[in-house]
């Protein structure tokens, strides 16, 4: 997540998911201001978009090794169907 007003290091997937969990926990608290809630929600949306992009990139890079008819290895692009 990079914002020109407040540059931050772009997190890896695992760090992004952990931060999303923290944001959800904070949003579930009863004693949180509207301003803080909106800021956390905005950060959460940015993190979801970032993590989704990381997953999309990883899916494009994945390859499956399959054994061909003659016993040789063949490399094919992975194709994943996401439901929901």
Q: Residue 26 contacts by C-beta under 8 Å, 6 or more apart in sequence?
A: 32, 36, 40
Q: Is residue 83 part of a domain?
A: no
Note the pLDDT tens digit of each residue in 21-48. 999 999 999 899 999 999 999 999 999 9
With a pLDDT cut of 90, the percent of the chain lying above it is 51
What's 57's domain CATH number?
Answer: 1.10.287.1040
Is residue 84, in this structure, part of any structural domain at all? no
Q: How many domains does the chain have?
A: 1
Please tell me the pTM assigned to this model. Answer: 0.64
Confidence tier at 64 by pLDDT (50, 70, 90): low
Domain that holds residue 14: 2-77
For the cut 50, the answer to whether the pLDDT of residue 71 exceeds it is yes
In a domain, 46, yes or no: yes
**pLDDT band at 14, cuts 50/70/90?**
very high
Q: What angle do CA 28, 17, 9 make, to 5 degrees?
A: 110
> Are the beta carbons of 78 and 62 closer than 8 angstroms?
yes
Mean pLDDT of the 53-81 span: 71
List, in order, residues 6 or more apart from 36 with CB less than 8 Å away.
Answer: 26
């Amino acid at each position: 997540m990079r914002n020109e007003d407040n540059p931050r290091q772009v997190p890896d997937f695992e760090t992004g998911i952990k931060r999303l969990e923290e944001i959800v926990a904070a949003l579930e608290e009863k004693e949180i201001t509207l301003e803080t809630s909106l800021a956390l929600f905005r950060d959460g949306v940015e993190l979801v978009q970032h993590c989704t992009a990381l997953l999309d990139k990883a899916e494009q890079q994945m390859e499956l090794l399959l054994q061909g008819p003659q016993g040789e290895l063949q490399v094919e692009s992975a194709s994943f169907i996401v439901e929901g």
